[in-house]
Structure 1
Amino acid sequence: TIVDLQGQIPTPLDTVKVAFVGHGTAEDPCWIAYQNGAETLAKSIRNVEVVFRYSKEDIALQVDMVREEIARGVDAIIVSIAHETALDAPVQEARDAGIVVIAFDTDDPEGAAGNARQAFVTSTITGKGICYDTSYMRGELVIDYFDGFPKGGHVFFPNEGPGATWSDQSRQGLVEYFEERGYIKGEDWFLDEIDATYDVATAEERITAYILAHPEIDVIVPCGGCTSIASVLAQEALEMEPEELPIFSWPHGPVDARGIRSGLVIAGVTDSHSNSGVLP
């Protein structure tokens, strides 16, 4: 609450040290947007020092980074909680040290009941967070595009972060929208998921191989910004025609835009990462 935080707010003359500790990569456009938003605001405010650190999906490294920022004596830690339990102890340690802790991008599945973070900043329509929404809304776009999804159809879901809470939420959003429309996974339709990794080149290679080996795929719904980019690159390399294998992307940059212009990408759903970087 505001009352709880008042004693932790530095005076205007103090340098406010804020550390963003994310599970992603500095090369991912969505994390670039987070960082740009936070740094732009910091420049307009006196005495604010912002540091961004990325663990590249290495949760153990992210835990170490949080503890390093505690030792550095920062005033606030903004952290993406991409694992159900791994961040519980370091976040509590930060709170015990008098540090403000706010979650962004991805929250504990149980919210405040599962982690001691003091708030979660996101943009959402359903109330279930960014990652859930992007796939929930793409589920609607997919079914509407086909005017009812084909019986026994296959959705290819290349996932750049399998096992992470954000990707679990993304998958859940897609599955639950299909269920709301009466399509049961494993009966009426099938979700074909692979570990595509965070590396765009590796993701492109794996997506290309899967497309070639599985002609039964009806549509691609990438899980993440890197896999959205890689899906377009894979289809370009295969010289696929527009709408031959529709992509419903999670767009983050110029490659996605190129895919939209060429007709490989039918539609995309994204979010305001820069605002989520500003608000904490």
Structure 2
Amino acid sequence: AIANALAACFVSLGGSIQTNLYVHSLDQLPAAHAVLLDVSPKQLLQIAGYKFSSLYKRQLQRYRYGMGVFKIDWALDAPIPFTAAECREAGTVHLGNTLEEIIISEKLTSRGKHPEKPFVLLAQQSLFDASRAPEGKQTAWAYCHVPNGSDVDMTAQIENQVERFAPGFKERILVRHVMNTRQMEDYNPNYVGGDIIGGMQDIRQLFTRPALRLSPYSTSAKGIYICSSSTPPGGGVHGMCGYYAAKRALKDVFNMKVSL
């Protein structure tokens, strides 16, 4: 409902929305005073690199991507039987047992290994949104981190983790769909190597993503901006990257008085 309302507002103001269209170059887009691209640095270079300075292109080429993910979607015969009542009533559940176990799992992955007990993020929205599953059934999805570009199948490890905290879970699986890092990137080219948060978020790159500039949203080409999670404040802070990029464009291109 929220997405439809936002789209309707945009169209009412004269905007148009096109889907199922691959953009390989800015030349495919109509002329505009400002272009905001919700893409990774890799895609930004492919689409608009010919307009950038050599320095800016080198900065984008040095951008580092983080861990990838292996994702599973399930159709279930019944809700996941978590032993903890709080988990049975949560839309999103983080499965990691202890903090120490989570640290070990993430550290192994960051070193290019695949943990047997991965930290798993699981969502079971059909408990609260009946449109996500047929009547009397449920759906859920989960992912774990893997090394960037990994093609290792983590189905068993993820399902074992869920079963560990929800005995009987495996018996409720009707069908599953899995995606490794390559398939994640095929699904969304912004997921470079399976990285779903737009690039590594460490102290070196959290505030200087995607390049060290006074405004991280502007590029070296006038009127071209990047507004993806590859800009501050990074992945997981939904909408804020685009919000700040739009404010920068309004100030730079349209001379509007906005606070930055």
Give the TM-score band, short-chain normalised: under 0.3
Instruction: Give the structure-1-normalised TM-score.
Output: 0.24
Highest CA radius of gyration, 1 or 2?
2
More helix by percentage = 1
